[in-house]
Amino acid sequence: MPLQPGDKLGPYTVLSLLGVGGMGEVYRANDTKLDRQVAIKVMPEALARDPERLARFEREAKVLASLDHTNIGHIYGLVDSTESRGLVLALIEGPTLADQIAVGALPFEDALRIAAQICDALEYAHDRGVVHRDLKPANIKITPDGVVKVLDFGLAKVLEDEPSPGALMTNSPTLTIGHTRAGTILGTAAYMSPEQAVGRPVDRRTDIFSFGAVLYEMLTGKRAFTGNTTPDVMEAVVKFDPDWSLLPAGTPPYLRRLLERMLTKDRKQRLQAIGEARIALENPEWGKLQLAADLQSAQSAPSRFGKIATAVAALSTLAAIGLSIGYYRATRPAELKPLVRLDVDLGADHRPAGSST
């Protein structure tokens, strides 16, 4: 049963419900000790009784506590009452990115400014071995001062500390099956990576794909991958490309290329580090240089192949000539040597052997 205004959680007094997610309800509350407002993420009672779910909830607290960055929502501590358990979080005022996109596509400059801050937050987390794995507009807030806050690392994977398999938990549209091992699915369908959609192990490149889907949506006002049902959306993530024609007129070629690289299905061919995206977004001229380099590389590939083919053909020809010369030498008749005439004076009294006179 949801908490009501006036309910107590330790020193916190509930003021209102802020939202509901896959891992519990989020409430605005008043900290009576420090006289400040906070956000409390409360685990549903049914889940609090499950040791696996409780352990995961506590892991979220530890992950959040390890991430101290301007663009990541902060955690103040844990609250544990007789009826509820929860995380005490910094209260972030302002709309979510999903709220802003619901009005329409963001102005180009606003989209790039927000995107660069998201990259900065992800780069910081990735450098510390943490993958968000549920990046989406609803998990991103923008303060009245324009500061981006990435929220809800509840599905984050700490790369050095892979947890054991857990029980089934499915929330739509957020899918949360098991924990972080191979063969499980976590994330929100429209923003998950292809490897997530098929239950393969994930890494930093999963967040890069999700970020690409978020940036595409900021620029177009439309989701990159859609479908009538969650399985349809997951199929689109795995098989289909976004509709690139929806990008606004005047989108710089380098930005289109950046999106294509981030939304590549094969993660081996995908952009490998979110920091590269941040640099391109913060320095458009660098992005243009990278695009030029990519195009030059693609155009020179046939030329390089042609040079290699020519060299191979030349070597083959030389080899054939060498074999022919060797064969000729081995099979031609032996040369006739010129006769040598030798005259020797044996003297007048010399008689040939067998002569009777």
Active site residues: 134
Separation of alpha carbons 234 and 240, rounded Å: 10
Q: Which residue has the tokens 């060299």?
A: 311
Q: Which residue has the tokens 């949801």?
A: 2
Q: Is 255 helix (H, G, I), strand (E, B) or coil?
A: helix
Nearest to 156 by CA among 66, 224, 275, 242: 66
Dmax (CA) for the chain in angstroms is 157
Burial 254-285 (b: 16+ CB within 10 A, else e): bbebbbbbbbbeebeebbebbbbbbbbbbeee
With both helix axes pointing from N to C terminus, report the angle between 274-282 and 204-220 in degrees, rounded to the nearest 10.
30
Residue 191, classified by CB atoms within 10 Å of its CB into exposed (0-12), middle (13-18) or buried (19+), is buried
Separation of alpha carbons 221 and 226, rounded Å: 13
Residue 249, classified by CB atoms within 10 Å of its CB into exposed (0-12), middle (13-18) or buried (19+), is exposed
Q: Is 170 helix (H, G, I), strand (E, B) or coil?
A: strand
Estimate the share of the chain in helix, then strand, then coil, as percent rounded to the nearest 5. 45, 15, 40
Separation of alpha carbons 55 and 43, rounded Å: 11
Nearest to 211 by CA among 286, 140, 129, 291: 140
Q: Which two tokens stand for residue 95?
A: 């709309």
